[in-house]
């Protein structure tokens, strides 16, 4: 019998076009994940839909939080704000996130999405509540 959470996380990563996790740094509370933006994620002739852009950065912020807490907590979003600077085109993108400040139960995060040329496509901030993983078992 498979762990339902693992299957769902794998399916989510596939749906988002995850290529690989580049970095999970516990001490720095940092994560970098590569995603492949496909045409099926785009509108207007090749511009990634904003929900995918948000999802990529949000996933990196969640990974940064989980790494910093040794995966003992699930980060539950309280709010997220995304600013879009340039259109995201099909191809490889890098979602990078870090913990800006951490309390006992609340974490403030920042993240950004860049293309292969290093151009910043979007930036985000998020506030998450730390929920012990056993509450989801």
Q: How confident is the model over 28-56, as pLDDT tens digits? A: 999 999 999 999 999 998 999 999 999 99
The predicted pLDDT at position 1 comes to 34
Phi first, then psi, for residue 89 (nearest 5°) are -100, 165
- Is the CATH code 3.20.20.70 the one for domain 4-136? no
Task: Output the six-digit token pair for 49.
Answer: 């839909």
**Is pLDDT of 9 > 80?**
no
Name, in order, each residue with C-beta under 8 angstroms of 72's C-beta and a sequence gap of 6 or more: 132, 133
Rg value, the chain, Cα: 15
3 state SS of 84:
strand
**Of 58, 72, 29, which Cα lies nearest the Cα of 128?**
58
**Of 92, 126, 113, which Cα lies nearest the Cα of 20?**
92
Q: How confident is the model over 17-26, as pLDDT tens digits? A: 999 999 999 9
Place of tokens 């506030």: 127
The predicted pLDDT at position 135 comes to 87
Domain extent listing, the chain: 4-136
The predicted pLDDT at position 136 comes to 80
Q: Which residues pair with 94 in a beta bridge?
A: 34, 114
């Amino acid at each position: 019998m498979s762990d339902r959470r693992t299957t769902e996380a794998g399916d989510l990563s596939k749906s988002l076009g995850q290529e690989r996790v580049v970095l999970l740094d516990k001490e720095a509370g940092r994560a970098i994940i590569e995603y492949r933006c496909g045409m099926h994620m785009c509108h207007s002739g090749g511009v990634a839909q904003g929900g995918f852009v948000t999802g990529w950065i949000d996933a990196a912020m969640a990974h940064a939080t989980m790494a910093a807490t040794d995966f003992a907590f699930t980060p539950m979003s309280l709010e997220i704000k995304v600013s879009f600077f340039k259109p995201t085109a099909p191809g490889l993108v890098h979602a990078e996130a870090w913990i800006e400040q951490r309390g006992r139960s609340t974490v403030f995060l920042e993240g950004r999405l860049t293309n292969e040329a290093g151009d910043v496509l979007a930036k985000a901030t998020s506030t998450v509540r730390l929920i012990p993983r056993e509450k989801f078992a």
